[in-house]
Amino acid sequence: MIIVGGTVRATAPALEALRPEMLKVLEANRKEDGCISFDFAVSVSDPGTLVVFERWRDAAALAAHSKSAHVAAWREAVGKAGAMDRQLMRWETDEGVKL
Which of 80, 94, 66, 78 minimizes the C-alpha distance to 7?
Answer: 78
Q: Rounded mean pLDDT of 78-92?
A: 90
For the entire predicted model, the pTM comes to 0.90
Residue 82: predicted pLDDT: 84
Q: Structural domain boundaries of the chain?
A: 2-92
Three-class DSSP category at 7: strand
Residue 7: predicted pLDDT: 96
Quick one: residue 79, left, alpha or beta (phi over 0 = left, psi -120 to 50 = alpha)? Answer: alpha
Query: Which percentage of the chain shows pLDDT scores above 70?
Result: 100
CATH 3.30.70.100 holds for 2-92: yes
Cβ–Cβ under 8 Å, residues 2 and 59: yes
Angle separating helix axes 12-31 and 69-81, nearest 10 degrees? 180
Q: What confidence category does residue 28 fall into, taking pLDDT thresholds of 50, 70 and 90?
A: very high
- Those residues with Cβ within 8 angstroms of residue 69's Cβ, 6 or more apart along the chain or in another chain: none
pLDDT tens digits for 53-80? 999 999 999 999 999 999 999 999 988 8
* DSSP summary character for residue 82: T
Rounded to the nearest integer, the mean pLDDT of the chain is 94
